[in-house]
Amino acid sequence: MPEDDRMKILGICSSPKGSRSSTLRLVRAAKEGAEENGAEVELLDLCQLEIKYCNACQTCYKTGRCVHKDDFQGLYEKILAADGLVISSPNYFHSVTAQLKTLIDRMADAAHCQLLTGKYCCSLATGGSNYDQVTGYLGDLMIGFGAFFTGSAGAEMSGGPAALEEGERKARALGRSLVDDIRNKREYAEQRAVQQSIRSHFKELVRMNKENWKHQYDHWNSIDWR
């Protein structure tokens, strides 16, 4: 495959522990699996970026741009340009880290306009236990933004080094599966049904607010409300 035609995957690690992060080890393993299967992967440390809190001003609904001048827009452009996403977080009190939640809250425009449609995503997490609380949340979120969800992997750190090693093995396999899904344009019928319901909801919401949400109304018009 020519270099310019290689599928692009963005891996996002939201652990604040930097190079000491067990979550980062999972993301690196997924990156290796995806690269082995022919993808180009960029790994990004979310905690190194400045992303301010959403203030619910709805400017992005009206214009497609955020009022904040920070690192969000550059990251958002990378997300929208990617064919696939690997999203990860340690389990912090039954949810994702504050850094990742801040990014998610800034992506309301992507939800309303279903801008992740056509992409494939997977989720990774670590935790003393119940890492699936995070991977499940992220999977539902990505489906809600329009993407297909390939699957998840994680590690319960209470299981010691062996649990993390097994998590890495599963993450590497998940990276390969993500590339297969993108390459084959895999259809997930059950997810598609959920997406259609969500899509209908947001289309109606935008229609109701068309006078104020000009950018979003123009977006749906541009694709004939499909």
State the pLDDT at residue 43.
Answer: 97
Orientation of helix 214-222 relative to helix 189-208, angle to 10°: 130
Domain that holds residue 154: 3-222
Neighbours of 66 (CB within 10 A): 20
**For 181-203, what is the mean pLDDT?**
96
Domain CATH for 28: 3.40.50.360
pLDDT in tens, 22-71: 999 999 999 999 999 999 999 999 999 999 999 999 999 999 999 999 99
- pLDDT band, very low/low/confident/very high, at 129 (cuts 50, 70, 90): confident
State the pLDDT at residue 157.
Answer: 87
Q: Are 136 and 152 in contact (CB under 8 A)?
A: yes
- pLDDT band, very low/low/confident/very high, at 170 (cuts 50, 70, 90): very high
Q: Are 118 and 195 in contact (CB under 8 A)?
A: no
The β-bridge partners of 90 are 126
The whole-angstrom separation of Cα 108 and Cα 103 is 10
pLDDT in tens, 79-115: 999 999 999 999 999 999 999 999 999 999 999 999 9
Grouping H, G, I as helix, E, B as strand and the rest as coil, residue 170 is helix
Tokens of 161: 């080094």
Structural domain count of the chain = 1
pLDDT in tens, 79-88: 999 999 999 9
- pLDDT band, very low/low/confident/very high, at 2 (cuts 50, 70, 90): very low
Q: What is the mean pLDDT of the chain?
A: 94
The whole-angstrom separation of Cα 81 and Cα 9 is 9
pLDDT in tens, 4-36: 578 999 999 999 988 899 999 999 999 999 999
Query: What is the torsional sign of CA 59, 83, 198, 154?
Result: negative
